[in-house]
Amino acid sequence: MTATDTEPATTHEVVLEAEGLTKHFPVRRGLRSLFTRERKAVHAVDDLRLTLRRGRVTALVGESGSGKSTVARLLAQLYPRTSGDIRLHGETITVHGGRKFRAYCRQVQMIFQDPFASLNPVHTVRYHLTRALKIHGRDGKTSAELEDNLRQLLLRVQLTPPERYLDKFPHELSGGQRQRVSIARALGADPEVLLADEPVSMLDVSIRLGVLNLLRDLKERLNLAILYITHDIASARYFADETMVMYAGRLVEGGDSETVTQQPAHPYTRLLIESAPDPDRLDRVGDPKDAPEDEAGGEPPSLIAPPTGCRFHPRCIHAMPKCSTELPPRFELPVISGEGEHWAACWLYEEGAAK
């Protein structure tokens, strides 16, 4: 019998939602701007709508600087938001530290990119995990119970036998083992949501799959909602149920992962997929059918003065006059499996637009 057989049927209930989520970082004002009313800001995230459900992985994909980590930190309530709403089980939550923050953290945990930086080098695995359990009141009444809980945490992340790892320091572990300890620490809170910010990008390619498989197993066994942040759209197809594509602070496409990666609609998503190395395409270089989506040149825009209309329009070979003036809404598109959703914020999909 598998672990999932013992669980009640997963309902994919909505746990965490963001609506209109916006984060602008003010830019330090220079001498000249002191005399003007000009207030510059980095538009890191604008009007983001996202839903995380139990038992589902949602990937957030985009290039460096597109605002992915800012989204994770906003959802973890590590930054105050400029505007918008974050709802946990339907209830709007705004916390500024203290007991409320701790209560929120019990349900929403974050895993960082660099497990070496997120574990204190002078403390053992036992210390890190005991602390997590104590903070969240899950350390048990007796030392035997605590010991058992520690063992269970390590077993959950497949560090077996647990005794071998409990008294190790971070530098005595491999990168993959350290990331597993970080995951175990997050599980110490018994959360409903894991926000994983590029959890495998600092690991050797050979062990990435193991850590992703572990997260998928946890999603199923513990019915977790996982936000998986990545540069790598190919891994989103493998690992995530839904994929959201972010460009310069805005979501541009989203939906069922299979559909978004197999039938990408937004020119930026197509560019991301084309940029991934694919040996099958090497012999077709120069074929006009494979004209790159990025003929206009490949620099992401300034987020201090982002392009008006669609933020991708200066790089888009399909750009129409409207693209530079009007922000495209989400247009619904077909889904490969017939289930789930697929949308793109691109004027190409407005009824009657030439594709």
Ligand X SMILES: Nc1ncnc2c1ncn2[C@@H]1O[C@H](COP(=O)(O)OP(=O)(O)OP(=O)(O)O)[C@@H](O)[C@H]1O
Which residue ranges make up the site for ligand X (CB under 6 A)?
25, 42, 44, 62, 64-70, 231, 303
Choices 44-52, 68-76, 163-171, 245-253; region in contact with Mg ion by CB under 5 A: 68-76
Count how many residues are written for the chain. 355
Q: Which is nearer to Mg ion, 147 or 232 (CB)?
A: 232
Q: Which is nearer to ligand X, 70 or 124 (CB)?
A: 70
Q: Which is nearer to ligand X, 223 or 243 (CB)?
A: 243
Choices 24-32, 33-41, 65-73, 147-155; region in contact with Mg ion by CB under 5 A: 65-73
Give which of Mg ion, ligand X, none residue 176 binds (C-beta under 5 to 8 Å, depending on kind). none
Give which of Mg ion, ligand X, none residue 261 binds (C-beta under 5 to 8 Å, depending on kind). none
- Give strand ranges (E) for the chain: 14-26, 41-53, 57-61, 83-88, 91-92, 108-111, 193-197, 225-230, 242-247, 250-256, 331-332, 342-344
Q: Which is nearer to ligand X, 59 or 166 (CB)?
A: 59
Give which of Mg ion, ligand X, none residue 66 binds (C-beta under 5 to 8 Å, depending on kind). ligand X
Residue 230 binds Mg ion (CB under 5 A)? no
135, amino acid identity: I
Measured torsion, CA atoms of residues 210, 214, 220, 224, in degrees rounded to the nearest 10: -130
Q: Which one-letter DSSP state was computed for residue 146?
A: H
261: helix, coil or strand? helix
Peptide bond into 277 cis (omega under 30): no
Q: Which is nearer to ligand X, 44 or 212 (CB)?
A: 44
- Closest approach of Cβ 69 to Mg ion, in Å? 3
Rounded distance between C-alpha atoms, residue 219 and residue 223, angstroms: 5
Give which of Mg ion, ligand X, none residue 64 binds (C-beta under 5 to 8 Å, depending on kind). ligand X
Give which of ligand X, Mg ion, none residue 130 binds (C-beta under 5 to 8 Å, depending on kind). none
Q: Which is nearer to ligand X, 65 or 140 (CB)?
A: 65
Q: How far is CA 79 from CA 22, 49, 246, 303, in A?
A: 11, 17, 19, 18
Give which of ligand X, Mg ion, none residue 109 binds (C-beta under 5 to 8 Å, depending on kind). none
Choices 64-72, 117-125, 142-150, 163-171; region in contact with Mg ion by CB under 5 A: 64-72
User: What are the tokens at 322?
Assistant: 């409207």
Residue 69 binds Mg ion (CB under 5 A)? yes
Number of H helices, E strands in the chain: 14, 12
Question: CB neighbours of 13 closer than 8 A, spacing ≥ 6?
Answer: 53, 54
Contacting positions for Mg ion (CB under 5 A): 69
